[in-house]
Amino acid sequence: MDFFQLMQSQTGFFLLTFARITGIFSTAPIFGSRNVPVIVKAGLSFALAYILFPLVFNASVTLPDSFFGYFLLVAGELLIGLIIGFAASIVFAAVQMSGQILDMQIGFGVVNVLDPQSGQQLPLVGNFKYILALLVFLATNSHHMLLAALFSSFKLIPVTGLMIQANVTEVIVDMVGGIFVIAMKISFPVLLSILLTDVALGILARTMPQMNIFVVGIPSKIIVGLFVLSLALPFYIMFLEVIFSGMYKDIYRLLSRMG
């Protein structure tokens, strides 16, 4: 039996594989961007499913005859893909959150720019950090690692083998809580410098009451914030590589609780 006959006889299995890959291409960074047309996403998902189908096919799997039973299997496979993409996008959510914190502290809180990838209004520094994180994501071939995690998901969770354990919620809560931790680590140098600047301005206001601290404070906080932000950029890039590696560990830890 050649590959085309195999795929024709196991179209249901192929569609389940296609559903899991479609979930990743809907939520994962880069792949799930709004800039990528839906036709391109569907074509890439179909191409990957075509490549992976001979590798993940299991002739012993029995598919249900009823439409409702098969629909539940499709929903389960789609859920696996969505969860993998969600776990990969948590890092970028933390980067956006750190940018919002920095914009509020520096003084750019009212300046927003349109992000074409998400179609939302993002703060100025947050959008800059987000784009830089995407560049690091591509430069370190992290998108290849994400595709490798997709292939590994078929080993950890075979098609029709989804069994969500009770402790999977602990992993998800831990990953979501990590958003705040990562955001504070990224923004800590600038926040500390802004805090010291506020203390210095407070001392200056007490010693020189005739000076308009409001007029002096706004540009000084912007200058100090941007200066410290530029100094912290090399460490920010190195930190991104660390949290990207931690992202893959979280993905595999999450998949192990779902198999």
Domain ranges of the chain: 3-256
- Check residue 2 and give its pLDDT: 54
- Check residue 116 and give its pLDDT: 58
**How far is Cα of residue 183 from the mean position of the Cα atoms in its chain?**
13
If you average pLDDT over residues 78-84, what whole number do you get?
A: 86
Q: Where does residue 114 rank: exposed (0-12), middle (13-18), buried (19+ CB within 10 A)?
A: exposed
CA distance 134 to 140: 10
Res 62 pLDDT > 80: no
Res 223 pLDDT > 80: yes
Rounded to two decimals, the pTM is 0.79
- Check residue 120 and give its pLDDT: 63
CA distance 246 to 174: 12
Q: Which one has a higher pLDDT value, 182 or 212?
A: 182
The band of 109, judged by pLDDT with boundaries at 50, 70 and 90, is: low
Phi/psi of residue 114, each to 5°? -85, 125
The band of 6, judged by pLDDT with boundaries at 50, 70 and 90, is: low
The band of 259, judged by pLDDT with boundaries at 50, 70 and 90, is: low
The band of 110, judged by pLDDT with boundaries at 50, 70 and 90, is: low
The band of 121, judged by pLDDT with boundaries at 50, 70 and 90, is: low
Closest CA to 91 of 227, 258, 259, 236: 236
Among residues of the chain, what percentage have pLDDT more than 70?
90
CA angle 81, 83, 84 (to 5 degrees): 65
**pLDDT tens for each residue of 7-53:** 555 787 888 888 888 888 888 888 777 777 888 888 888 888 888 88
Average pLDDT over the chain, rounded to an integer: 80
If you average pLDDT over residues 78-94, what whole number do you get?
A: 86
Q: Which one has a higher pLDDT value, 134 or 5?
A: 134
Sign of the C-alpha dihedral computed for residues 47, 144, 40 and 152 taken in this order: positive
The band of 115, judged by pLDDT with boundaries at 50, 70 and 90, is: low
If you average pLDDT over residues 196-208, what whole number do you get?
A: 82
CA distance 210 to 140: 53
Res 238 pLDDT > 80: yes
Q: Which residues of 31-42 are buried (b: 16+ CB within 10 A; e: fewer)?
A: bbbeeeeeeebe
